[in-house]
Structure 1
C-alpha cells in the first residue's frame, strides 16, 4: 500500500471533485461541484493552507457508477490529488471505495446514506439513518398518526438498505408487516400512475397512510406530478422525502407539493448568521441570487472546513496524518449548533423536518439537538453487534461480541 496522498508536486494542494455533471444525477450533483469550487476560492482568498494555494481537479463520472471508480483512480494516480470531495448515490460511493482503500486516498462523502459502512479512507458528512430516516418515521408515528407506510425508493443500495432498517424499526413499533408497502423503481423512472394508485388503495380501509420516499434524482419530478394528478394532497397522504431538497424543488411546480415534508439536517430557511453568510457567499460566487442552497452543500461545507483545519494541524496532506487529525474536529454548522467528527468518521447532526412551501422553500417544523451518527444500525441484528472506532480500535467493523475486527468494509 502506498503512503497515501501527500503534498503535491509544486506549490498547490490538489482537490479532486468527483461529481456527475451529466446524466440522471446531474440535477443534484452539479451544485456540489460548484460548492467545492466556491470553498476553494474562499480558502485561497484567505491565503490557502499552510501557504499553499488550492487547485481543483474536476472530472465528470456522468452518473455512470463504474466510471466513478475509474475517475477516482485517475484523480489519485494520475492527477495526484490530495483529497477527493465526491459521490452522491451509494452505488457510486461503493464503486469508489475499493479504489480509494487500495491507493490509501481520502474522500469526503456529503450525502445522507444507508449507513452500514465505515472506511478509514472516507469521512461521511451526510446523515446516517439514525439522523434522518428513523426520526422521520418517529414524526409520522407520533405527530401525524400514520398507521400504514409506503416505502418508495429508487432501485439501488441506499433505498433498499434504508427500507430494510425502517421495516424492522416499524415492526418493532407494532406496525404489521401487511401495513408496510415497499416498491422500487429504476433511476429516471417516469410512469408513476400504477404505483400512486397502489399507494392510494392502501388507505381504502380508512387507516392513515404515509409515504417514505427514497426516490433519487429526476424521477421525483414525475412522482410528485402523478400525486397531484391523482388529487392526493399532503393532508390525504403525506410524503416525507430523504433526497428532495431545495435544489430538486427549484425545477418543479411546487404549488401541488405544499405541505409535503422532507427530513434533512439543514434547510436554506434556517435563520442563523452563519447561514446568511453562507447564502450570501454562494450567490456572489454563482452570480445568481435565485440559486438555492441545500443539505449536501452544508455537509460539503462542514467537511471541507474540517479538512482544512486537519491539514493545517497535521502540517501535511498525507492521508494517515489527516485522518488522525480529522477525528474530534469541531466546526459550526449552519443551523446554530456545532458539528463534531466522531471516531466512526460520522458527524453529529441536528435532525430537521421541513414542510414544503409554495416558493420551494421549507418551513422548519421540527429540529433536534445534534445527534451522533451511527455507522451500524441497531435495528438489523447483524449490525447491532458492530461498532466503528478509527481512533482507539482502529477498526470500522468491530464485533462487540467476539471482540474482533472484521476487515474489508468495501466488500460488505
Structure 2
C-alpha cells in the first residue's frame, strides 16, 4: 500500500459503457458522466498527486462482450476497478469475472435487487427506493389496476415480480404481463395496444428499455390513449429515452428516479451546467448518469483514504462514506454496499423535461432484499432520517 502511494503512475480504471447497441443512448450518458468526473478529479490534482486514467471499451450492449472486455481489462490492462453496466444481464455477465480476479465493479444503474457482492458497489436505486414510492404515488393518484409491459430479459421479469407482490399487498390487480423483444420492431407493440384496449387499466407499468421505449410511447399516443387518465409509469424511461421521442409522445407520463436533470438545487445545477458545457446544451442527463458521476467521486475519496486501489482496501474505505451528490448527500451502506438515495416521482412535461410531482424529501436506506416493504405507511420504510 505504501509503495502504491509513492508511485507516480496513473490510477488506471476500466470503463465499460456501451456506445452502440440497444441501450447505447443511456449508456453514452453514463460514459460521459464518468469521464467528466475523472476530468474534474484530475484537474484538482488527481489522487495523491496521481491522475486517474480511463481505459474505456464499447461492449455494444452485449453481455458476452462485457464479459470478454472485463477479462481483457483485468488481465491485459491490469486494472482492478471497473465502472460500468446498464442492463442487469450485462452486470451478471461481468461480475463473476471481477469476483474471480479480485476486481471491483461500480454499478450506477437501478436494478431489481436481491443481490449482494463484496466485489460490487451499487449506486443506482434498489426496488425500495423506486418501485415502492412509484407505486404509492400511482395508487394515490390513478388507481389499482395495472398492465405490465417489459423487455424480454432479467430486469423486467424480476422488477415486475417485485411490483406484482407490492400491488397484491395493496389489494390491487395485475391484469396482464407482456414481454417484447429486447430489440423490438414497431409491430411488436400491436399486442400491447390490444391488451390495453381489452383491459382498460389505470396504469401501464413499463420496464421496456433502450430503443423500444420510444416505440411504446409512440404506439400509445397513436392509439389515442390519455396519459392524464391512464399513464405509462416507468423506472426505465429517463431523459435519455425521452430525448428520442416526439414531445407529444412523452408528455404526461411518469417516471421514478432519485435524480432528474431539471432539479433546481445548487449542486444539481452545477452538475448539469458542467455536463452540458462539455457535451452540449441539449445533452440529456438521466439518473444513471448522475450515479455514474458521483460514484467516481466516491471512488476518489475512498482511494485517497486507502492509499491503494486494492478492492478490499477500497471497500473498507467506502463503507459509510458520504458524498454531496447532485441529488443530495448520499452514503454507501456498510451492510450491503448499496447507496442511500433520494426518491422522486417525475411527470414528463410538454418540452420533454421532468417536473417533480412527489417526493418524501428524505433519503432512503437501501433495502435490496426488501425486508421491510410497506405501501400504506412510509414510516415502515428504512428511512435514514436526513431530510432535504
- The one of 12, 15, 40 aligned to 1:14: 12
Q: How many angstroms apart in 2 are the aligned matches of 1:257 and 1:320?
A: 44
Partner of 1:197: 194
* C-alpha distance in structure 2 between counterparts of 1:349 and 1:303, whole Å: 12
Counterpart CA distance in 2 for 1:97 and 1:283 is 31
1:86-135: per-residue Cα shift (whole Å, max 9, x none)? 00000000001111100110111001000010100000000001001121
Give the unaligned 5+ runs of structure 1: 381-412
CA deviations 1:10-41 (Å, max 9, x no partner) are 61111211011111111111121111111111
Cα 1:379/1:231, change in 2 over 3 Å: farther
Aligned counterparts, 1:90-239, within 5 A: 90-144=88-142, 146-176=143-173, 179-190=174-185, 191=187, 192-203=189-200, 209-239=202-232
User: Following the alignment from structure 2 to structure 1, what is the Cα–Cα distance between the partners of residues 7 and 233?
Assistant: 47
Map 1:2-401; keep pairs closer than 5 Å: 11-144=9-142, 146-176=143-173, 179-190=174-185, 191=187, 192-203=189-200, 209-286=202-279, 288-335=280-327, 337-343=328-334, 344-368=336-360, 369-378=362-371
Preserved contact between residue 47 and residue 303 of structure 2 (Cα < 8 Å): yes
In the other structure, the counterpart of 2:386 is: none
Distance 2:325 2:232 in 1: 27
Deviation at 1:379, TM superposition (A): 8.1
Alignment root-mean-square deviation, CA: 1.7
User: Distance between the aligned counterparts of 1:289 and 1:188, measured in 2?
Assistant: 29
TM-score by length of 2: 0.91
Q: If the length of structure 1 is used for normalisation, what is the TM-score?
A: 0.86
CA positional deviation for 1:251: 1.4
Q: How many matched pairs?
A: 367
Residue aligned with 2:309, SS? coil
Following the alignment from structure 2 to structure 1, what is the Cα–Cα distance between the partners of residues 338 and 6? 27
- The Cα of 1:147 is off from its aligned counterpart by 2.4
